[in-house]
Structure 1
Amino acid sequence: MILFITIMRFAKYLLLSFMVVQVQLFLHQLQSFLFVNINDTAKIQCSSKKQFLAGGITARWYRRREGEAPMLIKGCSDNQNASKVACILEGHNLTLAIYNAQRNDSGVYYCTNSYITLTFDNGSTLIVGDSYTSSSWVLTLAPSPHGLLSPGTADLACVVHGVSNLVQISWSISGDLQEQGLMRSLKAKDGSFLFINHISVPVDTWTSGKIFTCDVKFNSSGKSVKKIARYIQAPARECSLYIVPLAAGAGLLLLVVSLSLVWTLCPSTLGFQPRVSAPPASEEPQGGILYAHLDFDSRNRNGNTLQRPARGKRVKP
């Protein structure tokens, strides 16, 4: 019995010790986005409440690419692949250095402690090179006055199409920077990416007339692309009073046009007989007999053609 109590106390002590270590070694990353040029050195920082001990660093770095699970990149307690990646210790800060950075080094990097269960913070997004291509474009999507999905919130989205790598997407409301939205991505057959960044705001904020700006940054040196969205008030209800008269007028006009076509193309359908157009009246006076449009081929018995009077000539009785 005494042995059992001793074991339980020891287990409780170990559990409390692990909980203390977990609190003291909580790791935090302050860099949300980091842009570097190709062949430069990328430095991703991680901080801890407790000072890292030289020779006893247990932190690990993981990288997650689009569409992939997190993968271990560097264990700070080993010297593997030191020419490419290295852990640099500076008091409470631990830096992952990536030398000669390339496009495939882009991704979201997480700093974690191997003593505890793997729990990832928001991470630091590293973007190497320029993600802009000739087919890149940015579009904002906003709800219509009658298209709010829920009564309390309005959903907006920023769509970035045709990019070769990760991009930085941020939102601001009338100049006030907001937190990053929820990111979704799709990869096309040609290797390009489509990113959709989604935010939800209260309906009162959306309908207040404030300007919502989506800011997309593709590289470290180029200018960002900004697209705005703004609530447009629905037309006044009085406009609906004109819908019925306009619809009736359009129907009446269609009926008149239809009757006109029937009158022209098939008048017998309406009970009218078509009139036969009389030939145009001659301009000659009507004092005598007029032989017009008579073209008889008169020949005598010998086959000689008889001379006939000219058309339209008046013959005296």
Structure 2
Amino acid sequence: MDLVTLCMLFYLLPVTVPQTTLPQSPALQSVSIGSTVRMKCHTDWYATGGVHWYKQKVRGNLHFVYTVSTYSTPAGRFSGEVNDKSTVYTLVVHNVQRNDSGVYFCAGRKLFLDPFIFGNGSQLLITGPPNVILLSPPRQEMFSMETLPLMCLVSNVISNNFPIDWNISTWDAEGWTDSVAMDSTGVYSIRSHIRVPAEAWKYGAVCTCSVQISSTAIRNSESISYQKESQHIDCSLMLYGSTLPMISLVMMLIVVGGCIYGNCGLGNRNTEKESTDFQTRDSNQETSYAPLKFKEDPIL
């Protein structure tokens, strides 16, 4: 093989070996709701008709999102940017929401008759503060248990290996994780369990589970205490039990007082009426005398 043939092979190599994927950047980014994100597709050549962007959710199909070209205009929250050499096509998403999470792929081609070449993907995670829920058995079942099982459910986290901390009053405790699930947006939900001795629980132990996504983030936690809840219920029952007799006594006094007042008033009204009638008969009474005719006795 002469030198000329070898040079021709190296010249034809980029043509005979097609490009398999387009590099994308960044490979992964995690942002909060309301942010603006940019994902770049590096073609190194002018893409005829622009670069098309698709989104794939977890275990889902590709859905068309937007086409980035030198003549594209914004469509809702999506827009595009193209560098001066028309070799980098950037998808811009404004005011991202939770349903924007997914893996984004770009696709472009040099000529209209060429097949599309897809990118290697850019994963976008939209996160917020983790949600913490602490669950305990029903209260009526606690008295028959020697140890109380507690479960801490943490959702909206971006890692499937997220530490969950347990604290029982003043001492740290270790729980165990038995379930990790990922939803369609790419975020995880983690369940952690712990068992607390019933005696410690009944004597007012405060059980807390907490998570912290970073050293600078605020720790999210949830606590539960048997003593505080029982005191609240007992106080409510005592207040209700002590108030009910007082209300009943006041109602009885009102009824009895009304009855007494009604009888006295009726008696006074009857007495006054009788007195008035008597006086009226005395003042209006007249003495009438029958006319008598006398005849003279002839003997007299």
* Shorter-chain TM-score tier: 0.3 to 0.5
TM-score, normalised by the number of residues in structure 2: 0.38
Query: Which one has the bigger helix percentage?
Result: 2
Larger Rg over CA atoms: 2
TM-score, normalised by the number of residues in structure 1: 0.36
